[in-house]
Amino acid sequence: MHVGLISYTPDPEGVIAAAARISVSNVSALDLKEKQTPERVAGLLKYLLSAGHLSPFEHASFTFAIDGISRVTSHQLVRHRLASYTQQSQRYVSFKKLDFVTPNTIAAKPDWLAKYNEAVQNAHRLYCEMLDAGIPAEDARYILPNAAETRLVMTMNARELMNAAGLRLCLRAQWEIIQLFDYVKREVEKVAPLIAEQLQAKCYRLGYCDERESCGLFPTRQ
Ligand SMILES: Cc1cc2nc3c(=O)[nH]c(=O)nc-3n(C[C@H](O)[C@H](O)[C@H](O)COP(=O)(O)OP(=O)(O)OC[C@H]3O[C@@H](n4cnc5c(N)ncnc54)[C@H](O)[C@@H]3O)c2cc1C
């Protein structure tokens, strides 16, 4: 898996702070942004988060190139609706070579790993035979496994990043999407450390676990 930041709102934290201050100012956000200090920005972001005033966080967006995740994980990822996605097509791209993800629980057991690899290779062989027989890739792909790797570009604003990370960095989420959001967080850290700090499992914000059973990090509400 590889995650890289392609593009982002310049000075994302400054933009959020200036946008927030416009609601109580009588001057342009241009002036507000020019005059604000890093300390003021940090203080304001902290206040917005504690008060739950999250809409200014929608003004900062991040665009990621995500390569080498399984179709299992891309399906989970695109459930986050307040984002934009463009995914490699299995209709227009044919996969003469199939890259696929192997979960550690399977990789750790040689007998099961052999069966897993064989099943994936059999499916892929049939896929290639169908392509050779003139069956279009859009139909032959029905046989490809969920393990097949995919690539996509995702654009999310900071508010949705915090929401999605809150859900997907929870230890109850699946390992591959946890790993994906770990990489997303690392990329955001490089350009917006205050926002990156907020990319964490939701229990850190709540102070308790709202799942039925806690992983032990925080107690449940009961
Ligand atoms: C551990 C885990 C297990 C899961 N298991 C399953 C499962 O078994 N089956 C399954 O189907 N899904 C499952 N999901 C997916 C989950 O139900 C959500 O669809 C997904 O996490 C998207 O998050 P979200 O609801 O915050 O929506 P997002 O699309 O990320 O939207 C962000 C926020 O915007 C608001 N919003 C967005 N759209 C609407 C709308 N139409 N109406 C009102 N408010 C809206 C909500 O406040 C929402 O929280 C699972 C998720 C996790 C983290």
The domains of the chain are located at 2-85+151-206, 91-143
Classify domain 2-85+151-206 at the CATH class level.
alpha beta
Residue 108: exposure state from Cβ atoms within 10 A (0-12, 13-18, ≥19) = exposed
Ligand 1 centroid to 159 CA: how many Å? 14
User: Does the annotation mark 221 as catalytic?
Assistant: no
153 and 86 Cβ atoms separated by less than 8 Å:
yes
pLDDT of residue 65: 98
Averaged pLDDT for residues 70-76: 98
Q: Is there an atom of ligand 1 within 6 Å of 80 CB? A: yes
DSSP 127-181: HHHHHHTT--HHHHGGGS-TTBEEEEEEEEEHHHHHHHHHHHSSTTS-HHHHHHH
Residue with CA closest to ligand 1 atom 40: 81
DSSP for residue 192: -
222 band by pLDDT with thresholds 50, 70 and 90: confident
Provide the pLDDT for residue 221: 83
Instruction: Quote the distance between the C-alpha of residue 121 and its chain's center.
Output: 29
User: pLDDT per residue over 28-66, tens digit each?
Assistant: 999 999 899 999 999 999 999 999 999 999 999 999 999
Percent of the chain with pLDDT over 90: 94
Verify whether ligand 1 is closer than 6 Å to residue 113 (CB atom). no
Q: What is the mean pLDDT of the segment spanning 154-172?
A: 97
Chain centroid, CA 174 distance in Å: 12
C-beta of 81 in contact with ligand 1 (< 6 A):
yes
Which of these is catalytic: 125, 159, 168, 186?
168
Residue 104 tokens, joined:
């550690």
